[in-house]
Structure 1
Amino acid sequence: SKGKEADYVVVIELQSGKHGFPSEKTTNPLLDALLPTPEDFEFAEERRLFYVAITRAKKRSYLVADMTTSSIFVNELIKDNYDIELNEFDITEDQKITQNFYCIKCQTGIMQPKINRKDKTTFYGCSHYSLCKHTENGCSECGSRMMRINENTSNYKACSNCTNWLPLCATCGGDMIYRKGSYGLFWGCRNYSGNDELSCQYTINSIKTPKGYKDILEISTNTKPKSSIKESNVIQEVWDDKKFTVRTDAYEYAKKLAMTKKSTVNVIEKDGYWLVELKNR
């Protein structure tokens, strides 16, 4: 029996991770050896349960998910163009962009927002914790997730919500921070720790601002630091599905498109480019 029907069904906590649905918890290989052979179709049992849940409603089913850590089942419904309504309720612009950010260390976990208990700041941790303990700080201005981009032959972290960004160390990949030395101002790696053998000594005087983001302090021994904001020329007058070869351009366009059309936007990574797709439902 599939259970009783109801006028409305609300399915909550449709999140990814080891405590999500479906659960992405990794089991011990010895335990796997004692269990029956899993079905070829991924998460087959959970898919059947999910199907039963969303088909029990006489009128409408509601799926509740945080799109920054949404379940793969929710993402599949959106990306495969199932007959669902996405804009019945007002949501923030970040929630209108359907794209998961994967852990750079384990490659399979999803970076999820968490709160530091000491200073109440936002950081992001891998959904495969404690097997993977990789964490990253959120944006220092708005707390949103920082994306990694490569531009101008340099690596950066750029906010997914505002125009804040940080350069990354060319040697170890750590965050670069603004420092003051004997000869003036410069960028130094956060992993610098004096004369320690494991200390990163990489420094640079100036770094070019990535396209579409605000200028931060220009480092120079001859001039005073200054700050200004540049307008991005990425967004055009015509709003439509577009392809981008630069990820920051894709996300900038997606945020403006979601705000202008008040609709959900997909950012889909393809082979060599990013597709920004407007969902009209």
Structure 2
Amino acid sequence: MQGAAEHKRQVEECVAHLKQLLPFTPDLLIQLGTGLGHFGDRITSALMLPYSEIPHFPRSTVASHSGNLILGYLGDKKVAVLQGRFHFYEGYSTKEVAFPIRVLSLLGAKTLIVTNAAGGLNPLFQAGSIMVFRDHLNFLGENPLRGPNIDNWGPRFPDFSTPYHPGLIKTALDSASFCKIANVISGVYVCIPGPSLETPAETRWLRESGADAVGMSSVPEIIVAKHGGMDVLGLSVVSNVNDPDNFEPIILEDIIATAEAMEPKLEQLIVEIAARIPS
């Protein structure tokens, strides 16, 4: 595991490098997940930096994650877009997974919108729904804040009584209603290690644990964002819903296809949310 001193050095070097390149401090940071990579096309006056050109950024091995940091404007908002993410199952630690979020928080971003594709656990959900995170369960078995705390980055024991900003949750639901986007619900997201998809027994257990949707990403980034004082909103495209008593095979290509089919609606929703967030 990477040492705390080395992690701090890499973060600080990356922050210093990006400070020389970025045209402004972004107000809003948006992280795009599986099948949701085209949102970057909506950013105007954009500066695109491939992850491979940013010091110490990890490299995504997942084909549907482009791997670019985009800086520009979404309406009148100064935004940074992470076009693709990293995963615990790729072999990274949770600190490495959340590295870009730590860097952008230190650069001044105040609000984070996280998107991903997830499997539905709640039997009332439908494939193609959008779930607004109300809470989460971290079943990765690792926390990105483990180890020595850097007090300038955040408190040793950050409060998670409201992991997702209530005002942002309301804004998301109000925006969905305004845009007439159907099947936007709220629920509890659970993050598992992967990459093997959940068994029927695991699906039943996750349901009984109180989760409404399951995925393999986002929670490390959210923990680091909250530690850094950011307000967080989470959005999942529900790609499928499985009944543990009548289990169907889960095909990755189907998950990506559902996420891609929902991308226009999710983009519309994010644009409306961003417009309603105070500058």
- Taking structure 2 as the reference length, what is the TM-score of the superposition? 0.26
- Specify which structure has the higher proportion of helix: 2
Query: Based on CA coordinates, which of the two structures has the bigger radius of gyration?
Result: 1
